[in-house]
Amino acid sequence: MTAITTPRDTPLRDCTLVPVPVAAGEVIPMGAIVCVNAKGFAVNGKEDAALKYAGCADESVNNKDGKDGEQFIVVRANKAFKWASDGSITQASLLSRAYIVDNQTLSASNGGKPAEGQTPAGEATRSSAGKIILIESDGVWIF
């Protein structure tokens, strides 16, 4: 393609509600943390460093008996969401990354554990879910 030299009516999307194809075997409930796996399909949030945080399920989708991409889920994205904390998130965690434990729970830790005899943290076992913007007694807000 070459550069445009005249006005163009460029399509746009506000990226608040995004349809994402669902992985085979997944049942994602409305309100759950949704991630995208290495193949590009939506899955429930869970402890897996290879997942990418997508947002919050805006509907429930059952692809338990379906193939990859047979169902789509609408994911609410680019918003701040309030999720449960595993108890490791404190006020000192403000503006730090939160990490996915399951489809509703976040942690201050990426899950990496030091190998025996080592002091630095080991390889991460959790994916980043975004930046902690507010901590409340009943949950944590991330963006």
For residue 79, with 0-12 CB atoms within 10 Å meaning exposed, 13-18 middle and 19 or more buried, which class applies?
Answer: exposed
CB distance 27 to 42 below 8 Å: no
Render 73-106 in DSSP notation, one character per residue: EEEE-SS-EEEEE-S---GGGTTSEEEESSSSEE
Any idea what the Cα angle at residue 82 is, between residues 81 and 83, rounded to 5°? 115
Q: What is the pLDDT along the chain (143 residues), one digit of tens a residue?
A: 899 999 999 998 888 999 999 999 999 999 999 999 999 999 999 999 999 999 999 999 999 999 999 999 999 999 999 999 999 999 999 999 999 999 999 999 999 876 555 555 678 999 999 999 999 999 999 99
**What is the pTM (predicted TM-score) of this model?**
0.89
φ, ψ of residue 91 to 5 degrees: the values are: -60, -30
